[in-house]
Structure 1
């Protein structure tokens, strides 16, 4: 992966360049609201529980609506689904303007839930549109660009969102988010996204015996969608490990998502700027992870699992550090490892899954991961009422090593039984 390759993709794939720009603008606006909401909740309540609730309600809608988004994406034009969800979120984004006291927190929670509901439908539809706009050979590069986009969103959205919230008040951030939804919808309107593809040879791909895969994929056309989905997942150790990843990792990621704001506001007393700075550090790491792609050509699953081991060390280091600058740097490294792993996992899903089924697969992954992440945030908020933030962070960090060992062990055991591959670090 290289800068030149990325530029070539933008020039050759105009549809993806518009999708990328829309995602960037949409994400920055949404991050403005996220930072403003977190700071507002802490100012009004000073409660870790309230922070956990405000973050958790943004992820709980994924349980039901992300699969719905996947189903809609397989039945209706994906472009118009994304446009509709953007436009409908405009009035919701402006609802935060009426939250002016602790007695209005219920309105903040409802608006956060509705914004998340739109994103839950939007996200799997957008992600499943990517393989329809770019070539198969550029998938890893494009997924690296997606991490770069997420990094830019955090850098520009979180840091500038903190500044805007501090200087002009959270109201300005909420208005800018509403505007960003409209701009993103206009950009997506100009994209021609095919509803279906005829890339039969690309769809008939999976680890293991090619003949076995072709038989199973062909059989999918004659069975129910549920049966076809079961055939797909049961025949791919890679997809099984990825689903395991989405079941286990979010349980600990929720702790980190709550703690990053608590660290900034309560441990370092840095206020809005501190929250924005730490999220910007995550953005820098995600942006840098794009350049790591040039060194990752094989063993994508092993890279993702290895990243969990690195996360373990970094999170425990963050929990014991008393220096703001050091924590800032550690968050960069943490996000770098996570972004590299996420690009690898998304690429594997796109390679393993027929294009017609990708909205459903991404919808399920989004539902599982984000729902568990939301529940984890709620639990984290409750635990903060009983535990010191640093102790909770240290315990959460240690858990990533356990998850990495479990996933690697499962992949090794299953590979020995099936004979499909020898080790997770040798996959693709």
Structure 2
């Protein structure tokens, strides 16, 4: 599928570029604050542009929106190659901000497009492939990005990122997406998602689970580097191995999803609980290999859960509103992710590292338990009413 292939190519290019840009900023400025600022700038465009992108996907042919987003990012991807001194840092921050704006706009469009071009019976498989894609991006992008920048220089990496945007646009140029009534009619019908619709379809619960997962991931992302460097003194190699374990877990999740034949929402709730336990256990790991195993299982369960949750949105929300819903989910998830990354980063400077990781896992564990209790209570209540 062109959407999946284009996502792999542009995703790997983006990961390559991210590693190279952060390395370049650190080399030129020698400032950790500059790196932190760069990471923060990648998050906030999601607050505004993901909802806009989602609404646009409900009204305009999404393939044109994705092609435009890819092509407009090319000059900014190349601009990093012009940076030579700290006086050029404005180009770095401008480029990071614009690329992040493009990604924030692009993601809900891409997700809603999958729901529009895929047969309902194949949605779970395709969303599983999306998790597989993310695993490939993690391994090829994060693990090899630093090596590519080290051996071939950052300029080559920036060129590769620009080429990846062009290639992604080329792959989806002939993508055919069935028009919905909003795109076909001059006076589109009003199909609003009211509060009772969010509750009756279970989508509100899906949103809460994804947002809680984003909160856990924010702390988890901070801990990846901290565990490797501070706890196990394995440096960049350790970071690469941990990302490799995560990528492998996501890729494996695709092959195990078929084992879950019923109750995908319940599985996703239980996955939140189990991920919390595993993150708590990972914080107490005695060796790097034990940590890698924990990361593998966390990504495996999380990948399956993520695919099931996306499938539920695509099946239960009308196609004319999927873009808006995915925009809402992406916006909230990424803002929460950014806030918890900042909070996690501050916490590891104040509290013992293992305690921070354990606390993050327990937050997910108890949040998952509360959602599970609500789910069971609601099911019992509805059964009594019927």
TM-score normalised over the length of structure 1: 0.81
Out of 342, 345, 357, the position equivalent to 1:393 is 357
SS of 1:363 mapped into structure 2: helix
Out of 45, 69, 88, the position equivalent to 1:85 is 69
Which residue in the other structure is 1:233 paired with? 198
The answer as to whether partners of 1:35 and 1:275 remain within 8 angstroms in 2 is: no
Which residue in the other structure is 1:32 paired with? 16
Structure 1: state its 5+ residue gaps.
1-16, 199-220, 423-428
SS of 1:85 mapped into structure 2: helix
The answer as to whether partners of 1:86 and 1:118 remain within 8 angstroms in 2 is: yes
Alignment of 1:47-86 (within 5 A): 47=32, 52-86=36-70
Alignment of 1:372-411 (within 5 A): 372-411=336-375
Q: Structure 1's 263 and 109: CA in aligned 2 closer, same or farther, altered over 3 A?
A: farther
Alignment of 1:113-152 (within 5 A): 113-152=97-136
Q: CA deviation at 1:99?
A: 4.7
Q: CA deviation at 1:93?
A: 1.7
The answer as to whether partners of 2:58 and 2:323 remain within 8 angstroms in 1 is: yes
Q: CA deviation at 1:150?
A: 0.9
SS of 2:350 mapped into structure 1: coil
TM-score normalised over the length of structure 2: 0.90
SS of 1:189 mapped into structure 2: coil
Q: Structure 1's 384 and 96: CA in aligned 2 closer, same or farther, altered over 3 A?
A: farther
Which residue in the other structure is 1:293 paired with? 257
Question: Aligned equivalents of 2:14 and 2:384: distance in 1?
Answer: 42
Q: Structure 1's 125 and 23: CA in aligned 2 closer, same or farther, altered over 3 A?
A: same
Which residue in the other structure is 2:310 paired with? 346
Question: Aligned equivalents of 1:99 and 1:385: distance in 2?
Answer: 31
Calculate the aligned-residue CA RMSD, in Å: 2.6
Q: CA deviation at 1:38?
A: 4.5
Count of matched residue positions in the alignment of Structure 1 and Structure 2: 380
Out of 269, 280, 293, the position equivalent to 2:244 is 280
Question: Aligned equivalents of 2:104 and 2:149: distance in 1?
Answer: 26
Deviation track 1:134-190 (CA, whole Å, cap 9, x = no partner) reads 211111111111111111111112222121122223333222111101100111112
Q: Structure 1's 416 and 41: CA in aligned 2 closer, same or farther, altered over 3 A?
A: farther
Which residue in the other structure is 1:360 paired with? 324
Q: CA deviation at 1:400?
A: 1.1
SS of 2:293 mapped into structure 1: helix
Question: Aligned equivalents of 1:155 and 1:77: distance in 2?
Answer: 32
Structure 2: state its 5+ residue gaps.
183-187
Q: CA deviation at 1:283?
A: 0.9
Question: Aligned equivalents of 1:298 and 1:41: distance in 2?
Answer: 48
Which residue in the other structure is 1:320 paired with? 284
SS of 1:62 mapped into structure 2: helix
Q: CA deviation at 1:280?
A: 2.0
Q: Structure 1's 100 and 137: CA in aligned 2 closer, same or farther, altered over 3 A?
A: same
Q: CA deviation at 1:367?
A: 0.7
